[in-house]
Chain A
Amino acid sequence: MTTLSPAMSDRQPATTVRRKVRVVSRRRRRIENALIAYSFIAPNFLGFAVFTLGPILFAFALAFMHWDGSNPIEFAGLDNFWRLFEDRAFIDAFWNTIIYTAVSVPLTLACALGLAILLNQKIFGRDFFRTAMFFPYVASLVAVAVVWNMVFNPEMGPVNMLLYTIGIPPEDLPGWAADRHWAMVTVILFGIWKSMGYYMVIYLAGLQGINSELYEAAGLDGANAWQKFIHVTLPQLAPTTFFVTVMLTIQSFKVFDQVYMITQGGPGTSTLVLVYHIYNEAFISWDLGYSSMIALVLFLLVLVVTVVQFRRQRED
């Protein structure tokens, strides 16, 4: 840059030449800088574009096609869309997904917030408790699901044994995963147990960001613990709650693994969820167009809920 410092000479032509050199060289620098930046992004972006962006676009196109994966693709128009309304299993899967989300999101949120508030205090062994709460989240799903199935085994599992010992007659004992009415409850309980520790950590991070002077001010105004919670903690945590709600909702809409391990979607279709149906249609029936249509529904569901939540947050 030093060679291009403003020209001191009063001779007109030389200045023009120098200015030109400066413009060319500045543009060259800008291109060089852009190339350097792109070289940083390229390794990740190429993989991301090929293996994520591409398939997403393909998925949307596939929803309007008939394809079994080996014969030629045929254009299907809205066939797959109309089929949704006649597909009993899809309708069940749709409502089950909504129910799962509507129940597990608020419950997980409440548990996570409660735990975070308890474990944000200076109590003995706090780090141990935090780690313990978080552990189910990182534990292998296959392993914990099989334990869960054994512990909640209707005939010999310790949970029902305990319920029996405290006086519940055998015919009233819940059938858990094997019972139409209890299967969804079992899956939801498992989901809360497994994931609340993660959201607790996010809430802990949120709580640590609250200015302690706010509590002191509220204390001076004579607020009790409950009033402090309602008027300081909750409003201050609003961005965290928003984030947690969005994440939880998305996670709940795409629930699959735990259903697959605990109930296999059954009994009947009582715990069949959208992703399970997508999986069945794609990898069992090889009806790739129709499975993509269900995936499109899932995507629209996630999109609508996320947009609504964003709107509501902006209003607040």
Chain B
Amino acid sequence: MRIAGKKIKPATIAVYLTVIVVTVIMLLPFAWMLSASLKLDRDVFAFPIEWIPAQPRWQNYVDIWTKIPLALFIYNTSKLTIIVTLLQLLTSSFAAYAFAKLHFPYKNTLFLGYIATIAMPWQVYMVPQFLLMREFGLNNTHLALICLQAFTAFGVFLMRQFYMSIPTELCEAARIDGMNEYQIWAKIMLPLSKPALSTLTIFTFVTTWNDFLGPMIYLTKTELKTIQIGLRMFISQYSAEYGLIMAASVVALVPVLVVFLALQRFFVEGVASSGLKG
């Protein structure tokens, strides 16, 4: 077969066809969501699907802000996500530096404590964790969610794997130059670990932003709720207002999309270099 004078192998065509078909399947629900968010409820299920509505109903995007306290939910979620992500990045990379580059008693025991819990589903201990938080008077506070999401074994593990790949000579040279350990961490390790930090940022941001079970257990007051439970609440209250539901869903998706697109070029590199591939 020839296209534009170039010879093209049938295998290449098959590869492109497969990739395009799968991509369409992956993205179609999002296209449908976007399209439905600009329709009247009665037009949402019209078949054949009118992908681009003739008269887009932008009003849906105005109405959602008054139907539910969407802005408040977004504010709550942003606050939680930003605090958790910052704490996670800071404490994980801090602890990981000691595990990767310093010598101290019980290093392996402590690290094993982290590793052993990576495989432990959160659901196994979510009940005692909830009781503990209640004991501390933290249920119905954002602090509870921050405490339970900011200090993960996963973060320490990911950062440590990356730091292991940075030559130890670099730290030794810095020590000879008179830097103390905190300076080495801040001025040498952190700048070198951008791929790992980006990977951890994406993971933490996405997990916290999209977390459902955590906020559902801890937050029962409407003014504290996050976008995910807010959205869920909206869906069960206005189950027939498809257009509005879709518009609210689009709004809930956008922040993650932005963070993901901004950091994704680091992502494959980060996964590759952090030993996440096993």
Once A52-B117, A143-B249 are accepted as A-B contacts, the answer to whether A59 and B256 lie under 8 Å apart by CB is no
The answer to whether B26 and A135 touch across the interface, beta carbons within 8 angstroms, is: yes
Complex formed: what's the CA distance from A51 to B235 in Å? 32
Instruction: Decide if A85 is an interface residue (CB 8 Å cutoff).
Output: no
Residues in chain B near residue A239, CB distance under 8 A: 277-278
- Check A197–B150 contact: CB distance below 8 A: no
Taking the complex as formed, is B209 at the interface, i.e. its CB lies under 8 A from any CB of chain A?
yes
Cβ of B162 within 8 Å of any chain A Cβ, yes or no, is no
A302 touches B121 (CB 8 A): yes
Number of A-B contacts (CB under 8 A): 277
> CB within 8 A of B277: which of A121, A139, A209, A306?
A209
Shortest distance from the beta carbon of B157 to any chain A beta carbon, whole Å: 11
Whether B150 contacts A139 by the Cβ 8 Å rule is no
A51 and B147 in contact (CB under 8 A), knowing A40-B185, A138-B260, A150-B36?
Answer: yes
Q: How many residues of B contact A (CB 8 A)?
A: 93
Residues of chain B within 8 A of A161, CB atoms compared: 47-48
**Of the residues A43, A129, A133, A143, contact of B94 by C-beta under 8 Å:** A43
Write the nearest CB–CB distance from A286 to chain B, whole angstroms: 10
Interface of chain A: mostly helix, strand, loop or mixed: helix
Task: List 17 contacting pairs A-B, 8 Å CB cutoff, sorted by A.
Answer: A40-B95, A44-B94, A50-B147, A55-B125, A55-B128, A58-B128, A59-B127, A119-B19, A135-B257, A140-B253, A144-B30, A144-B249, A146-B231, A150-B45, A202-B271, A202-B277, A254-B123
Closest approach, in angstroms, between the C-beta of B273 and any C-beta of chain A? 8
A135 and B30 contact, CB distance less than 8 A: yes
- In angstroms, Cα B211 to Cα A256, docked, is 12
Nearest Cβ distance between residue A247 and chain B, in whole angstroms?
9
Report which of B22, B153, B242, B256 forms a contact with A52, defined as CB distance below 8 A: B153
Give CA–CA (A283, B134) in the complex, Å.
13
Interface size on A, residues (CB 8 A): 94
Indicate if the CB atoms of A33 and B94 lie closer than 8 Å. no
Using A44-B91, A142-B212, A157-B45 as known contacts, say yes or no to A205 and B121 having CB atoms under 8 A apart.
no
CB 8 Å contact bits of B119-138 with A (1 = contact, 0 = none): 11111111111111000000
Chain A residues numbered 26-77 whose CB sits less than 8 Å from any CB in chain B:
33-34, 36-38, 40-41, 43-48, 50-56, 58-59, 62, 69
